[in-house]
Amino acid sequence: MTIGEICGFLGGEVQCTGDPGREITGAIAGDLLSFIMGAAKEGSLWITIQAHLNVAAVAVLKDLPLIIIASGRRAPDDLTERCASENIAVLSVPQSMYEVCAELARRGLNG
């Protein structure tokens, strides 16, 4: 499933479009940056409630093309600017991390 499709069915606000046609191959959820650095697989989306510049650093280094910021948090301007320059999509949604995970799993996206 593509970034565009995921943003479509989850709703929320696309703060950075990234590459909407890019296929997402997996998913990971977590707020500990070192955990994501160690465990995320390239090409996965990342669900978190962290919303600061280092989120972009981790996404760039691990090649995570979609960041979903959950629980109504929003990316600050410096984060969206960095993501825009790196072609990373940012979606902020009102749903909790759990709800986002459940919805993605229901639609067939496996971790």
Partner 1 sequence: MAAPVCLEYRIEGNDFMVAGAASNNIKNTLKMLGISSSVCTRVAIIAYEAEINLVIHGGGGVLKAEITEDRVKLTAEDEGPGIADIEKAMTEGFSTATEYAREMGFGAGMGLPNIKKNSDEFNIESEVGKGTRLYSTVFFNKQ
Distance CA 109, CA 111 (A): 7
For residue 56, state whether it binds partner 1 (rule: CB under 8 A): yes
Do residues 66 and 3 make contact, with C-beta atoms less than 8 angstroms apart? yes
Distance CA 84, CA 87 (A): 5
For residue 70, state whether it binds partner 1 (rule: CB under 8 A): no
Stretch that binds partner 1, among 12-20, 46-54, 89-97, 100-108 (CB under 8 A): 46-54
- 53 sits in which H/E element: helix 53-62
**Residue choice 13, 37, 107, 111 for contact with partner 1 (CB under 8 A):** 37
Binding residues for partner 1, total number by CB under 8 A: 22
Stretch that binds partner 1, among 4-12, 13-21, 53-61, 93-101 (CB under 8 A): 53-61
Burial class (CB in 10 A: 0-12, 13-18, 19+), 84: middle
Query: Which stretches of the chain bind partner 1, using CB under 8 A?
Result: 31-35, 37-38, 42, 48, 50, 52-58, 60-63, 78
